[in-house]
Structure 1
Amino acid sequence: MGDKFEFAISLMAFAVIIYMFISIFYLYVAVGEHWNLVLSALLDSRVHGAILISVSSALLVGFLAMITSFPVAYLLTYIEIRGKEILETFLIDLPQTFPPVTEGLVYLLMFERFGLAYTYAAVIIAKFYVSAPFTISFASRRFREIRESGMDIIARSLGAKTSHILELISKLFKLFLRMVLYGVS
């Protein structure tokens, strides 16, 4: 039974790998036939502006998501409240289930009322809605791993205060941030 299951998994993985290689190859061939269009687009100042907005907003949203998501993840891990599962559903699961086009349309309608449509602030807010659930989910898993390992209980039994434990955890997250930045560069 195990051999058949492994074979099925291997076959599916192989199919996905082949699909990805074919898609990537096709994209490069399609672009390769029209390099003059690609080069002219890259020299366009509007494309430079779009790239600048995209990269700067992604960096800002990543930073904001990390700063705001860690306290939320800590609360979801260590504080026992009624309806915590519902709160997790609204903060993590639900935003990830909406199609991006639907999210964009809802934000466009909402931003028009406040005069924010087509602004840099609107880009930041919309990207934050998309990225924060992933950051909260990641940080919650890390906090749960710490809690399940008992490191926090051991630290408290040795006299560490919550602030000291959080300081040590923040050092771990700084290390994680360095790894992310090395991965980006």
Structure 2
Amino acid sequence: MPDLFKPLAGFKVTFGSMFAEPITESYPEEKTPTAPRYHGRHQLNRHPDGLEKCIGCELCAWACPADAIFVEGADNTDDERYSPGERYGRVYQINYLRCIGCGLCIEACPTRALTMTNDYELADDNRADLIYEKDRLLAPLAPEMTAPPHDMAPGATDENYYRGEVSADGSVERGASTIPGDVS
């Protein structure tokens, strides 16, 4: 007689969950905040005066295990300066069809130019739109920033930029680092 009720024992979980309160997220209407260290969409950052932090070194592309990043560097000239130093990233692409969100590119960046935002909505119905070009990756200009190309701050060197000593108005505050945790 006990073998007769064994098939019904499997339905115990089903019947128990039929009358439980449902756990539903209203995702498109109500977006929940992500964790502070969530790896979402990439962003190319700028210095406070508007120059790009990317120096076109291609270390992020070399560090990417999925081969999702393509960088082509070019030389800055006196007429067109996009970043402090000798080079800038002329072409910058991230293929989100290949990106696995590991963050190794962030670790490889020597100038902290590449970071990851909390933006997680990367779905699209067109494959070509998931290859982000530099114009979609660059951080927007703040009101006090000047769009590149423009000269470096007067009297500043590329080292002043990397130490965070150049402010938005173009003044150089030597010895005063604005990077948290940085001791110069």
Is the TM-score greater than 0.5? no
Q: TM-score normalised by the shorter chain: which range applies?
A: under 0.3
Q: TM-score normalized by structure 1?
A: 0.26
Q: Answer 1 or 2: which has greater helix percent.
A: 1
Q: Answer 1 or 2: which has greater strand percent.
A: 2
Higher alpha-carbon Rg: 2
